[in-house]
Amino acid sequence: MSIRPDNRVAITWAGEHRFDAGRPGGPQIRVDASAKTGPGPVDMLLIGLGCCTGVDVVDILAKRRTPVQALSIEVQGERREEIPRRVTKAHLVYRIDGAGIEREHAERAVELAVTKYCSVRDSIDPAIPVTWSVVLNDA
């Protein structure tokens, strides 16, 4: 079994509330707390949650030999009014398209992704509820 190295990112201030970030020597993304030139930091948290679970959903359904043909995930986070305006709950809507994918299997793949496999979810305060719903083949 190989051990994966710790994640390391470098962040460079780009003026105002903007930062360029990524792995050293790798591709960069723009994070903008003003949300003018890129997603903000809280958006990035929600994006990380959606992408992390999405990878697992795709992999789980591929292992069932029912590959995903299209997947989109909408993540809605609620935040407190008081500072710090931390996220208090998140809801993910998975829109999955693929021939032969049964609803029961799609829902189980999402459940496993969110509750068992996603390292981002496990890094978020467990007191923050994360809920989800599945739309399969537009139904």
Return the pLDDT at 1: 57
Q: Are 57 and 94 in contact (CB under 8 A)?
A: yes
Return the pLDDT at 125: 95
CA gyration radius, the chain: 17
* Domains of the chain, first to last: 1-38 (no CATH), 41-136 (3.30.300.20)
Return the pLDDT at 7: 87
The strand order across the sheet containing 29-32 reads 10-13, 18-22, 29-32
For the chain, 139 residues long, give each residue's pLDDT as a single digit of tens. Answer: 566 678 899 999 999 999 999 999 999 999 999 999 999 999 999 999 999 999 999 999 999 999 999 999 999 999 999 999 999 999 999 999 999 999 999 999 999 999 999 999 999 999 999 999 999 998 7
pTM as predicted: 0.91
End-to-end alpha carbon distance in the chain = 41
